[in-house]
Amino acid sequence: MDEKAVYAKDVIQLARLGLVGDRKNLETYIRRIMRQARNDDSRLADKLGELLVANPTQDAPLREAGGSFAPVDRDTRLQLVRHEDPVVLEYAPILASKVYEPLKLVVGEHNNKALLEKNNLSPSRTLLFTGRPGVGKTLSAKWLAHTLDLPLLTLDLSTVISSLLGRTGINLKYVLDYAKSVECVLLLDEFDAIAKQRGDNTELGELKRLVTVLLQEIDLWPSSSILVAATNHGELLDRAVWRRFDQVLEFPLPSNAELGSIIDLYFGEQSKELGKWKSHIVSISQGKSFSDIQRFAHRVLRKSLISDISIEDAVQSILSSEYADLGLQQRKAMAIKLKKEGMSDRKISSMLGIARDTLRKLEPETK
């Protein structure tokens, strides 16, 4: 985005917040401009800071220039959302094309809002992410915010539900109103905690009413922000929820090609030291999530450093301890697989605790 476009965007946003009298979020946006202007126009940043100091309010108390305002619980004064601005990514998500391509399109839509509006269209506003834990749902929401240069607000619905459900409804309304008033990506994590089937007789009437309110908010969500709801348990969601979202993306477990890429990513430069173990790790990682593989990679890297051994020896050591809990038949099946991959009987025997005489008897099954 060129400098003129950025300037126009800031003017429009400031004008909109000023016209609706949203002083709290107006100050938030001014502070964001101050941070951006520190390097290029320090005089502008200083002048904006002077204006904020001269005009504090009780509703929006003055904070340091790098601070951000977010809705809080009126009783506890605890923040209701985690606020990230700017969003920093250590690495981009590795996703199946059926997920990645729609996400790229969402970015393109929001970068071309004017074109869509000229044709009586609006960008995707609401996204539902479903899938097992650790398959990239949260990371993809962060990637959206990072790519679009928007703040990320994260609300864990499982933690906001209070024993006083009336307060939960008020807090949820605070968060939704705040997210609608500024350009952002709002992530509603553990979405099933609140958007359950309304026919579930175990749920209280107040919680069912919260679901109804939430569905209405999704219908009316503005195109200036993106609402992302994420759940590990799509089967628990109210049936009416599914059709309320502009897009529903199901995150699958990684394929073999994605497993290879994620192993390279998590092991970094040391992935070159895996040798034949890489294909074995891909094989044993089938059915596991990205986060499972990351934990394994970090265990190997820590073992290599602390014990001062090679990456290959660290992999073998960790796998040996895991295989020790397997039954004999499972270890024999793993031995056959390792023999097919060219591993020596000596290493297989050491790792799996199977005598070499037994391993030799398994050889005909490998042909």
The CATH number of the domain holding residue 198 is 3.40.50.300
Residues 204 and 243 in one domain: yes
Residues 171 and 276 in one domain: no
Domain that holds residue 190: 82-250
In sequence order, the 6+-apart residues with CB closer than 8 A to the CB of 256 are: 282, 286
Residue 211 falls within a domain, yes or no?
yes
Phi, psi of 244 (to 5 degrees): -80, -20
Residues 142 and 217 in one domain: yes
Tell which residue, 241, 32, 63, has the closest CA to residue 157: 241
Residues 226 and 275 in one domain: no
Q: What is the pLDDT along the chain (367 residues), one digit of tens a residue?
A: 566 666 677 777 777 777 666 666 777 778 778 777 766 777 787 777 767 655 544 343 333 333 345 676 666 666 778 888 888 888 888 888 999 999 999 999 999 988 998 888 889 999 999 999 989 999 999 999 999 999 999 987 766 665 445 666 777 877 888 888 888 999 998 887 776 655 555 555 666 777 777 888 888 898 889 999 999 988 888 777 888 899 999 999 988 888 888 898 888 888 888 887 888 788 778 888 888 898 999 999 999 999 999 998 898 888 877 777 777 777 777 777 777 777 777 777 777 778 777 777 776 444 4
Where among 201, 225, 250 does a domain terminate?
Answer: 250
Residues 156 and 229 in one domain: yes
Q: Which residue, chain included where needed, has tokens 């709002």?
A: 186
pTM across the whole model: 0.69
SS3 state of residue 298 = helix
Residue 64 falls within a domain, yes or no?
no
Residues 16 and 122 in one domain: no
Residue 296 falls within a domain, yes or no?
yes
Where among 222, 250, 278 does a domain terminate?
Answer: 250
Distance from C-alpha of 112 to C-alpha of 207, rounded to nearest angstrom: 38
Domain count, the chain: 3
